[in-house]
Structure 1
Amino acid sequence: MIYFVGAGSGDPDLITLKGYKLLQQADVVVYAGSLVNPEVLSHAKEGAKIVNSAHLALEEIVREMVEGYQVGKLVVRLHTGDPSLYGAIGEQIDMLNEFNIPYKVVPGVSSFLAAAASLGREYTIPDGTQTMIVTRLEGRTPVPASESLKSLASHKSSMAIFLSVGMIDRVVEELSQVHPLDMPIAVVEKASWPEERIVKGTLETIGELTREAGITKTALILVGEFLNHTGKSKLYDKDFAHEYRQ
């Protein structure tokens, strides 16, 4: 079995217990370069082979995993956040299938969840939006036309925009076609890392604020009324009866 493990958002304590145990047992750890906090690797056992995949092509990454598996070693492929979001695990799994090698994916804490925790906010608002959109701006990687930021923003839902802070002006341009300029927006750099930084503003100010902070990568853009409003849930309302409370 080869394990794809979500390393979490950066704080080494935010890896899941299952991921932690696998790292402690792993003979080979192939980790996603600068995206994974090196402190997470401190969970690996002494003597484990640690491979930085940042400079490797797909075939080389898979070769490292396959060679370890074929000699009976426990192999962990360590991805940032949760492997299901922008993790590029699909192409790795396709190649493992060609070798008939079994695998398992262990989820992790995504940075968009850690960012909400750092802000002390809830993406879903009682009597407000019940939808969270996770997306990115088109760059070198294309995005379907139906998933443009302008199109998605029209839903007026909470949004977490990955891999786009280096194009903050384009983000603002698209969102401003739907939202007012006073729409709250936050940029969270390295959510949950010790060097985490948070910049808050509006569509009108966030571009300049982000440039002044020198934030160009490894950051999320969060957009929505959730940044200003919380609402009140019916779940804990004393007058709201349900199965467990009459």
Structure 2
Amino acid sequence: MVYFIGAGPGDIELITVKGMKLLQKADVVIYTGSLVSGNILDYCKEGVTIYNSASMSLPEVIDAIQEGIDQGKMVVRLHTGDPSIYGAIREQMDELDKRGIDFEIIPGVSSFVAAASRVKAEFTLPGVSQTIIITRKEGRTGTSEGGKISELAKHRASMAIFLSVQSISQVVEELLEGYNENTPVAVVYKATWPEEKIIRGTLKDIAEKVGDEKINRHAQILVGDFMGSQYELSKLYDSSFSHMYRSGKE
């Protein structure tokens, strides 16, 4: 069996319990070494075969999985964050399907929710935004299939932008097509890692601040008024609000 496991955003304790237990049993581990903390391999048992996929092509990854399966071994494909978000797992799963190899996906903590936790923010605030947009600036490995950032910005929803901090000035320019220049922004570099950095600002000044810190990779860009001070209280805990578990008081 092959297990695709989300390793979490960086802190090795943010892998799920299920993911950790499977990693402890694995005979073969193929991990995304450019993004996953190498310390997470401390969970592995002695004698495990480890591959760093940062230097491997898709055929090489699949061949390593096939070799493990042919030898009756348990294989873990360890991805950063949650494998369903920018994880490039569909192409791997399709290859495994072609070869009749069974697999399972174990979700993980994505970097966008880790970043929100580090800035102590809630994406979905009543009266502010009930929508989260997850996107990236178009580049060599992804186009704007769901709409350009400039188009998505017009929704003024809470937004988490992956893989784009290297183009922060262009990202800001596109965001200003929908948000105003005073919209709060946080850039979180390597959320939950020991070297984490949090840069706060607005669309007016965030590009300069990020440039001063020389951050050009491994960062989430969080945008929206959910990081502001104005919002409405939730009805869920409003003493006058009735629902199936509680009768409201006058």
TM-score by length of 1: 0.98
Q: Deviations over 1:194-227 (max 9, x none)?
A: 1111000111101110011111100000000011
Tell me the CA shift for residue 128 of structure 1: 2.2
| Alpha-carbon distance in structure 1 between the residues aligned to 2:114 and 2:15 | 12
Tell me how far apart the structure 2 counterparts of residues 182 and 129 of structure 1 sit (CA, whole Å). Answer: 16
* CA displacement 1:222-245 (0-9 Å, x = unmatched): 000011135311101111111111
SS in 1 for 2:23: helix
**Within 5 Å, which residues of 2 pair with 1:104-119?**
104-119=104-119
Aligned to 2:154: 154
Distance 1:127 1:64 in 2: 50
Who is 1:120 aligned against?
120
Instruction: Determine the C-alpha separation between the residues in 2 that align with 1:142 and 1:25.
Output: 35
Letter in 2 for 1:243: M
* Contact 2:154/2:177, CA 8 A, preserved across alignment: no
Deviation at 1:176, TM superposition (A): 1.1
User: Which residue does 2:12 correspond to in 1?
Assistant: 12
% of aligned pairs identical? 52
Shift of 1:181: 1.0
Which portions of structure 1, spanning 4 or more consecutive aligned residues, are displaced by more than 4 angstroms? none
Q: Secondary structure at the match of 2:155?
A: coil
**TM-score for the superposition, normalised by structure 2:** 0.96
Q: Residue 147 of structure 1: CA displacement? A: 1.1
Task: Judge conservation of contact 2:189–2:197 (CA < 8 Å) in 1.
Answer: yes
Mapped to 2, the partners of 1:184 and 1:42 lie a distance apart of: 38
Partner-residue secondary structure (3-state), 2:34: helix
| Cα deviation 1:168-203 (Å, max 9, x = unaligned) | 011011011221111111100011111111000111
Matching residue of 1:174: 174
The SS at the match of 2:237 is: coil
Which one-letter code corresponds to 2:34 in the other structure? S
- Name which of structure 1's ranges 162-171 and 222-231 shifts more when overlaid on structure 2: 222-231
How far did residue 141 of structure 1 move?
A: 2.5
Alpha-carbon displacement from aligned partner over 1:139-174 (angstroms, at most 9, x marks no partner)? 112423651001111111000000000000110110
Q: Which amino acid aligns with 2:48?
A: A
CA distance in 2, matches of 1:9, 1:53: 17
**Residue 147 of structure 1: SS of its match in structure 2?**
coil
Q: Distance in 2 between matches of 1:165 and 1:52?
A: 25
Question: Could you tell me how far apart the structure 1 residues matched to 2:142 and 2:100 are?
Answer: 31
Matched, 1:200 2:208: no
The residue that corresponds to 2:140 in the other structure is: 140
